[in-house]
Amino acid sequence: MASDSSPPAPVPTVSLIVPTFNEAANIDELLDSVCAAFPTGLEIEVLFVDDSTDDTPEVVERAAARCPMPVSVLHREVAEGGLGGAVVAGIARTSAPWIVVMDADLQHPPHLVPQLVKAGEHAAAELVVASRYAEGGGRDGLAGGYRTAVSGASTALTKALFPRLLRGVSDPMSGFFAIRREAIDRAVREAETRQEGGLRPLGYKILLELAVRCRPRGVVEVPYAFGERFAGESKSTVREGLRFLRHLADLRTSDKSARMVAFGLIGVSGLVPNLLALWVLTGATSLHYAVAEVLANQLGVLWNFALLEFLVYRSGKPGRGARRLLGFAVLSNADLLARIPLMMLLVERAGLGPVTATVISLVVVFVVRFLLVDTLVYRRRRTAAERAASPPAAGVRDRHAA
């Protein structure tokens, strides 16, 4: 029997993940540049995670035929999590110890990919950020003063919210970086141990997600000049900006203590619609003030629920909003029923003054209500990282182009 004497395929050192959305016009130039950038001895696999509605996957397959490294396409019919979700799906389907993420529009220079990996190896760092703001970098490729201002403001806001976790990262909004797979695997294992959500990317700022949740050991930066888009149009929109703000809120409230603070602040903000509705009802109708307060309280409940859904509990299961609203409303309206008896008990049995008893009852009932809402109304769902690690579901086509 003849044996197959062909040498085994080399194990890749780098998994280059390129999320794409209608980038067909950029693919040939990008792959040619990547092929030219990699020296002999540094093995690379390239995975395009594609959410396109054009022929980008077919263009990748044709262009991959002339590439010396393996190139494949993972096409998603449903773009869950946006660009960040695409990167997480790509991480789960690659194997190299180094993961490099870059855009397909050539604003990220492909020749810098090997330098990112070498910088990480030299510094024994788990994260290497290609930075527009490091000395020697530039952001001339941002189109117009508006995008420049938005980029600068977003960077400042992000660093202000995470001063410790982003120490040493001058460009947390960068879409061009290298990270060791070990850092991601460790973060997912620790999240599973704590029974907390793992990676939950939303929109296009995946570096921020990885830096905050993975907490890589050692960070270095490599300066680069953000270039002009080779072809096509920018995917930066107002909608993506809103998703970014929501993502920031989700990251900032990822632990229970931070969620409790946000829960309290949102509750305080709910006094505004509550008091406004009470003022209208008592002034424009003949309702008794007690009845008016019950009705006005419902507006405050709706206000609080809407903000919690949008800012704090993005991971609530889709399609169950009515059930969550009902549970939240029941717990919120039970607040008075629980607080008044507790206040009376503190006054009559513990001998406390009415003001002190009221404050204590407010704090106790608030903590209990938060814990009930956090654990009963918003149950933890399967994370994006766990879903991505599963075999491809219907609607996902994994193509090996070379």
What single string gives the DSSP state of each residue in 138-159?
B-TTS-HHHHHHHHHHHHHHHH
d(CA 155, CA 131): 12
- According to DSSP, residue 310 is labeled I
d(CA 195, CA 21): 33
pLDDT of residue 221: 94
pLDDT of residue 142: 56
C-alpha dihedral, 52 to 80 to 244 to 198, nearest 10°: -140
Tell me: pLDDT of 178 over 60.
Answer: yes
**Chain segment 329-339, per-residue pLDDT in tens:** 888 878 767 77
Report the b/e string of 216-226 with b at 16+ CB within 10 A.
beebbbbbbeb
Amino acid letter for position 27: I
pLDDT of residue 387: 45
- According to DSSP, residue 67 is labeled -
Categorize the per-residue pLDDT at 2 as very low, low, confident or very high, splitting at 50, 70 and 90: very low
Categorize the per-residue pLDDT at 182 as very low, low, confident or very high, splitting at 50, 70 and 90: very high
Give the rounded percent of residues in the chain with a pLDDT score beyond 70.
73
Q: Which residue has the tokens 């930075």?
A: 131
Highest average pLDDT, of 74-78, 139-143, 223-227, 386-390, comes from 74-78
Amino acid letter for position 204: Y
Q: Which of 167, 5, 2, 180 is closest to 99 using CA atoms?
A: 180
**Chain segment 309-349, per-residue pLDDT in tens:** 877 776 545 557 788 888 888 888 787 677 778 877 887 88
Q: Which residue has the tokens 């204590």?
A: 360
Categorize the per-residue pLDDT at 196 as very low, low, confident or very high, splitting at 50, 70 and 90: low
Tell me: pLDDT of 238 over 90.
Answer: no
Which residues on neighbouring strands pair with residue 14, listed in sequence order? 44, 98
Within 10 A of 159 (CB to CB), how many other CB atoms are there? Answer: 17
pLDDT of residue 166: 81
Higher pLDDT, 138 or 145: 138
- According to DSSP, residue 226 is labeled -
Amino acid letter for position 32: D
| DSSP H/E element including 241 | helix 238-252
CB 384 within 8 A of CB 80: yes
| Cα-trace Rg, the chain | 26
d(CA 370, CA 367): 5
Tell me: pLDDT of 265 over 50.
Answer: yes
Q: How many residues are given for the chain?
A: 402
- Weakest mean pLDDT among 50-54, 74-78, 209-213: 209-213
Task: Average the pLDDT over 282-288 and give the result.
Answer: 78
Tell me: pLDDT of 183 over 90.
Answer: yes
